[in-house]
Amino acid sequence: MSSYHLDHLQHLETEAIHVMREVAAEFERPALLFSGGKDSICLLRLAEKAFRPSDLPMPLLNVDTGHHFPELNEFRDRRAAELGARLIVRRVEDAVAAGIAIPNPGEVSRNRLQIPTLLSAIEEFRFDACIGGARRDEEKARAKERFFSFRDSFGQWDPKNQRPELWNLFNARVNTGEHMRVFPLSNWTEMDVWEYIRRENLAVPTIYFSHRRSCVRRGGQWLPVTDLLPPKPNEEVRDLVVRVRTIGDIISTGLVVSPANTVDDIIAEIAAARVTERGSRADDKSSEAAMEDRKKQGYF
Amino acid sequence: MPHSTHPIEILRFNTCGSVDDGKSTLIGRLLYDSKSLMEDQIEALERSADITGGGQINLANLTDGLRAEREQGITIDVAYRYFATPRRKFIVADTPGHIQYTRNMVTGASSANLSIVLVDARNGVTEQSRRHTCLAALLGIPHLVIAINKMDLVDWSEERFLEIREEFEGFLPRLDVLRDVKFVPISALNGDNVVDSSSKTPWYQGPTLLGHLETVHIASDWNLTGLRFPVQWVNRPNNPRDSSLHDFRGLSGQLAGGILQRGQKILVLPSGLRSRVKDIWTYDRALAEAFCPQSITVLLEDDLDISRGDMIVGLEHLPGMGSELRARICWMNPRPLQRGKKYFLKHTTQTVQAVVTSLESRLDIRTFDSEAEPPELAMNDIGEIRLRTSKPIIYDGYGTNRLTGAFILIEQGTNMTVGAGMLQAPTEAVRPDYNDFAI
């Protein structure tokens, strides 16, 4: 390298690697939250960059809501196997059966039920740190997150009393029963994630690319028709060429009508986009403080 | 277009000012005018405008993300925002103006290339403006912009602009580390001189705020002189399937200063052991050289006993090493700094115990005078202290290197981060030829 200069992706990468290594060095029992989504795909590559040629010094953890896109779970399992990483999956169904997660009458979404499921997995394995792929540009409450985000023994986030975070000196100290959520991608934008996927030539689940799917129009978005989400009698089912921009549960992830077939197409589409990524997530629209409320309880 | 695909730099900046100086409005304006806002964000703004704003869009709602902030109309915690122009990507820390939230301002500003201090043209320089300017100087932020806002409310008066500028220039020389200071007359609410030049300030010849952010020279903001490699994590594969890795013993970390080259002679501190760089390993490929702030894995010629917290340096531009330290500190906790109390001190990749042995002085933010030997340092106080650490640390003066000159203090028991410290330059460098190392 002749000029001592990092471009924006190299800059974000070196920062994220530093954060990951701090986790490996400072915590006894860390885990990496891996869903198979685009952000956690970047996390996995960064973990390889941080720790190779050693094995990843932490298992992968995923909370399966039972409402995942099947393509996502297949990808998750395959990728973990390729890396030789240990994958721990904890299911919302099991947490409900065990009385750990209790659905409200008529509650269909598994979004809220992920919280107790995750916290119970953290307790079960005594994880003291969980690395997640959340980004500050996603949402207003996340914009206030630290890289090292402290959670008390109830798994709660106290946004008004966060630890100051200075330079690249991360305070990783927790007492027994408390834990840390760590977000190496804090400073990444949606565009950075896709540019990194392109630069690193990373595989992503096929549902990010355009495909044909039966959809219904609900709440201003196109939702995929599945056994979990059958069309109502008065709803018209349309056969559309769509893709997902962000992946949530299959019953609440809005599909974007899009011909994007390659990562280049996706980057061009995002560059021209006029709505944010989370604009297609029904779970964030319920109230202006929806994400803040879920995060305080222990959501990722 | 808000995005670009060719290589561009990142500029980190923070905004600070008193309550109601219009920080959040300014960031909202930068996002709005640089077309970085999306339709659903604008829609959400309009929705909340209908409910609380009497129909007028409130750009501050873009950054005030917590419910308490929207209800009280204030910014509680640092909010990070991201936007891009074809020339640069920007990471913005919107830092609060309330006195009690100074710790968040320090959080937002510690790694910034540039600080924007907002001043209400009607009020001129306030205690908060002085505090924020002083903090920006203390934190060694290389570039400062004084944005004189709400110029529309003083009829775009050049006289008023110059008056405020003079007041700043009266005290800036006392903050000797500030090298690059710009003054810009703006109206964040209406957008004048933020992204587009204003027709109302024919007397102002300088760049718009965004124009300055896009062009200010930041390439030399990292220290590339003295090699500093704090060992972060020892990379030693367990039972590798690949037999060539049996002897792999890598030292992983992020360069905190200088340039490291294959074949270079190095010194390990505090042990004083010497070796040579066999290779610079990265996931992508081996490198002939690496520079600050790259994250790398170093292989040495010799199998030395090296662990996290050790520092690899070159044979020239040596750092200081010691356990008796002098530093400036910004205190960030309601429980005052206590002499004689033990804290954890985290510096580069090592955490040691530390005791504050004396409080030398406390800075009076209004006069910039120092009060000698204050009884304590309370929340938001800035002072000079002496410390003793349980183990020697390897360091530079903060003015020389922000990464090896900085530390945080952590309260034992609560684990709160309570102090942000900036070390004074060592009185002498370590002497590698002497066998007087502490361990």
Domains in chain B, number = 3
Contact A21 B295 (CB under 8 A): yes
Query: What residue has token string 């070196």?
Result: A14
- For residue B100, how many other CB atoms are within 10 A of its CB? 11
Q: Is residue B435 part of a domain?
A: no
Q: Is residue B185 part of a domain?
A: yes
Tell me the nearest-neighbour CA distance from A129 into chain B, angstroms. Answer: 15
Q: Nearest by CB to B332, which of A15, A164, A289?
A: A164
Do B266 and B300 fall into the same domain?
Answer: yes
**Of B253, B280, B313, at which residue does a domain stop?**
B313
Contact A8 B9 (CB under 8 A): yes
Mean local confidence (pLDDT), A274-300: 62
**Residue numbers in A near B68 (CB within 8 A):** 160
Question: What's the pLDDT tens digit per position in B316-368?
Answer: 999 999 999 999 999 999 999 989 999 999 999 999 999 999 999 999 877 78
pLDDT the model gives residue A142: 82
Contact A187 B82 (CB under 8 A): yes
**Mean pLDDT, chain A, integer:** 89
Mean local confidence (pLDDT), B274-285: 96
Mean local confidence (pLDDT), B262-284: 96
Contact A159 B66 (CB under 8 A): yes
B287 pairs with which residues across the strands? B280
Do B18 and B158 fall into the same domain?
Answer: yes
Q: Is residue B439 part of a domain?
A: no
Mean local confidence (pLDDT), B133-146: 91
Contact B295 A189 (CB under 8 A): no
Do B295 and B408 fall into the same domain?
Answer: no
Do B274 and B409 fall into the same domain?
Answer: no
> How large a percentage of chain B has pLDDT more than 90?
59
Question: What's the pLDDT tens digit per position in B91-124?
Answer: 998 876 665 567 777 888 888 999 999 999 999 9
Tell me the nearest-neighbour CA distance from A99 into chain B, angstroms. Answer: 31
Contact A48 B283 (CB under 8 A): yes
Q: Is residue B351 part of a domain?
A: yes
* CB burial of residue B319 (10 Å; 0-12, 13-18, 19+): buried
Tell me the nearest-neighbour CA distance from A10 into chain B, angstroms. Answer: 8
Where in the sequence is the domain holding B364, given as residue range(s)?
Answer: 320-423
Instruction: Report the b/e string of B381-419 with b at 16+ CB within 10 A.
Output: bbbbbbbebeebbbbbbbebbbbbbbbbbbbeeebbbbb
Q: Nearest by CB to B406, which of A54, A167, A271?
A: A167
Contact A4 B224 (CB under 8 A): yes
pLDDT the model gives residue A26: 97
* Mutation to test the A interface, candidates B248, B261, B408, most A Cβ within 10 Å: B408
Beta strands in A132-285 (DSSP E): 148-151, 179-182, 211-218, 221-224, 238-244, 255-257
Question: What's the pLDDT tens digit per position in B230-250?
Answer: 999 999 998 777 787 888 999
Contact B110 A55 (CB under 8 A): no
Q: Is residue B205 part of a domain?
A: yes
Do B137 and B98 fall into the same domain?
Answer: yes
More confident residue, A218 or B76: A218
Examine the pLDDT at A287 and tell me if it is beyond 60: no
Do B33 and B173 fall into the same domain?
Answer: yes
A270-274, A281-285, B83-87, B189-193: least confidently modelled range: A281-285
**Of B261, B292, B313, at which residue does a domain stop?**
B313
**Mean pLDDT, chain B, integer:** 87
Q: DSSP string spanning B57-89?
A: --GGGGT--SHHHHHHTS--S-EEEEEE-SSEE
In this prediction, residue A3 has a pLDDT band, given cuts at 50, 70 and 90, of confident
Examine the pLDDT at B419 and tell me if it is beyond 50: yes
Contact A160 B68 (CB under 8 A): yes
In this prediction, residue B261 has a pLDDT band, given cuts at 50, 70 and 90, of very high
Q: Please give the Cα distance from B434 to A271 (Å, whole number).
A: 59
pLDDT the model gives residue B76: 61
For chain A, list the domains and their CATH numbers.
Answer: 8-196+289-297 (3.40.50.620), 204-283 (no CATH)
Kindly provide the ipTM of the predicted complex, given to two decimals.
Answer: 0.90
C-alpha separations of B191 from B40, B200, B372 in Å:
22, 11, 45
Question: What's the pLDDT tens digit per position in B49-60?
Answer: 555 444 455 666
Do B26 and B153 fall into the same domain?
Answer: yes
Measured at the CA of B105, the angle between CA B102 and CA B106, to 5 degrees, comes to: 90
Q: What is the CATH number of the domain that holds B374?
A: 2.40.30.10
> How large a percentage of chain B has pLDDT more than 70?
85
**Residue numbers in A near B281 (CB within 8 A):** 53
pLDDT the model gives residue A1: 41
Q: Is residue B141 part of a domain?
A: yes
Mean local confidence (pLDDT), A84-100: 93
Chains A and B form CB pairs within 8 A to the count of 188
Examine the pLDDT at A24 and tell me if it is beyond 80: yes
